[in-house]
Amino acid sequence: MSTYDLLIAPFADYGFMRRALVACLCLALGSGPIGVFLMLRRMSLMGDAMSHAVLPGAAIGYLVAGSLSLTAMGIGGLVAGLSVALLSGLVSRVTVLQEDASFASFYLTSLALGVLIVSLRGSNVDLLHVLFGTILAIDGPALVLIGSITSVTLVTLAIVYRPLVAECFDPGFLRTVGGRGPVYHALFLLLVVLNMVASFQALGTLMAVGLMMLPAAIAQLWARSLTAMMALAAAAAAVSGYVGLIASYHLELASGPTIIMTAAVIYGFSILFAPSGLARRLFPRPHLAG
């Protein structure tokens, strides 16, 4: 098998492979930087909660559309995700519950409700598509939605980058100078929900957070500056998407899980060989004498 047949032919010959690759690249550009901010703010598990929170809305969109319409499911997921984010924040402010406990409660409820809604009308195959994604079934409107979310994410991050970094590392300072920290926090949660909806289109509710957090973890192992982490996270997600699609095509595997497993392999390699990885700790370089 030639290099062309191995690495290029699947995308040159099949439109659905090209659309899947474009979707992966869009997700990498948007979700990678968002994942870095989630990790630095120690909100990684909140990302997982939000990926499950979109399920009821996506299920309702599925029932309304009467078929597995990714656009209808995306709009429904966006409404459901924003509702869970707002309700969780409200509950944490009017009760003694912390925000993480509130998110956990709502996402468990959302996951169960979403599965029940799909089960009312759909088959087991439909439920598997909702939970694990249909990246090879990405159509034109869904691709436009994913690309639009990526564009909004990048433009918003460029506009609010400095106050968002300040709110991430020193929220007390931002409050002192009147920086409207809660506004930027709410805006960041909106970006998280938007990117979860985009990821849901391709990877399903159970793995939507995978292309967000694994590349962020990889970037944190290799890079030291925030800008380098964001760039490396986007690159790792893009490579995972491309290699995962190639592997799933040739090995006849499910594309979504293969993409996430590719990112997991890169993460395992990084744990061993990154500058702060296990290999450096187990076999430290000798210090120069003199």
Encode pLDDT of 263-281 as tens digits: 999 999 999 999 877 877 7
> What pLDDT sits at residue 220?
92
pLDDT at residue 123, as a whole number: 61
Distances from the Cα of 54 to the Cα of 51, 62, 109, 117, angstroms:
6, 12, 11, 13
Tell whether 128 is covered by a domain.
yes
Q: Is residue 286 part of a domain?
A: no
Please check whether residue 287 lies inside any domain of the structure. Answer: no
CATH code at 23? 1.10.3470.10
CA R_g for the chain:
20
Residue 13 has a pLDDT of 93
Rounded to the nearest 10 degrees, the angle between the axes of helix 181-203 and helix 70-94 is 150
pTM comes to 0.85
Give the tokens for residue 68. Answer: 């597995």
pLDDT of residue 177: 62
- Please tell me the predicted confidence (pLDDT) of residue 63: 74
Query: What residue type is 274 in one-letter code?
Result: A
Whether 18 is covered by a domain: the verdict is yes
Structure tokens at 95: 């009760």
Instruction: Please state, as a whole number, how many other Cβ atoms lie within 10 Å of the Cβ of residue 53.
Output: 30
Cα–Cα distance for residue pair 58/65, rounded to 1 Å: 10
Measured CA to CA, the distance from residue 64 to residue 75 in angstroms comes to 11
**Separation between Cα atoms, residue 285 and residue 256, nearest integer Å:** 39
Q: 3-state class of 251 per DSSP? A: helix
CA 159 to chain centre: 21
Q: Is residue 289 part of a domain?
A: no
pLDDT of residue 85: 77
pLDDT tens digit sequence for 173-192: 666 666 676 788 888 888 98
What pLDDT shows up at residue 82? Answer: 82
Q: Does the residue 254 lie in any domain?
A: yes
Residues of the chain with pLDDT under 50: 289-290
Q: How many domains does the chain have?
A: 1
Tokens 């899980």 identify what position? 257
CA distances from 266 to 149, 222, 255, 288 (A): 26, 12, 17, 31
Q: What is the pLDDT of residue 290?
A: 44
Q: Which residues contact 219 (CB under 8 A, 6 or more apart)?
A: 32, 36, 228, 229, 230, 231, 232, 233, 236
Q: Which of these, 75, 58, 228, lies nearest to 149 by C-alpha position?
A: 75
The answer to the question of residue 290 being in a domain is: no
Amino acid at the residue 207: M
Domain that holds residue 40: 3-281
* 288 assigned to some structural domain: no
Tell me, what DSSP letter sits at residue 286? P
Report the distance separating Cα 121 and Cα 130, nearest Å: 13
All residues at 6 or more sequence positions from 181 whose CB lies less than 8 Å from its CB, including other chains:
167, 171, 174, 175
